[in-house]
Amino acid sequence: MSLVQELQDDADFGDMLQGIVCRVRSAITVGKAKDPVALEATQKSAAFVKYHKELAPLLGCVMNSKSSDVDCENDLPGLMGVVSKIMPEVDHLKTKLGAAYHQAVKKSC
């Protein structure tokens, strides 16, 4: 059994994954509404372009209003190898979105 499989069997890991999905969805929602330029810049950044194949399933899922956070959790294990490479861009986006992002996370996640 792989480490990811072991962690997925753990209920706490499921809660953590749901939190990640909710935060990604919040960033996209707030970015579209408050700062589409910052969101687009993040999506066009070198890291996001380089790892588009790994990111596309999760981003497509969270952008689909019919998909729940639980539905999108299945796309997270595919990002495990690239998380450290995309985090600087994610952190930059969160900083640009500021209080609106944090309020959305507090409300929804």
pLDDT tens sequence for the chain (109 residues): 444 444 444 444 455 556 889 999 999 999 999 999 999 999 999 999 999 999 999 999 999 989 998 899 889 888 888 988 999 999 999 999 999 999 999 998 8
pLDDT for residue 1: 43
Tokens matching residue 41: 């810049």
d(CA 37, CA 33): 10
d(C-alpha 109, C-alpha 88), whole Å: 22
0.95 surpassed by pTM: no
SS3 state of residue 10: coil
Q: Give yes or no for a contact between 4 and 80, defined as CB atoms under 8 angstroms apart.
A: yes
pLDDT at 11: 46
So what's the pLDDT on residue 15? 52
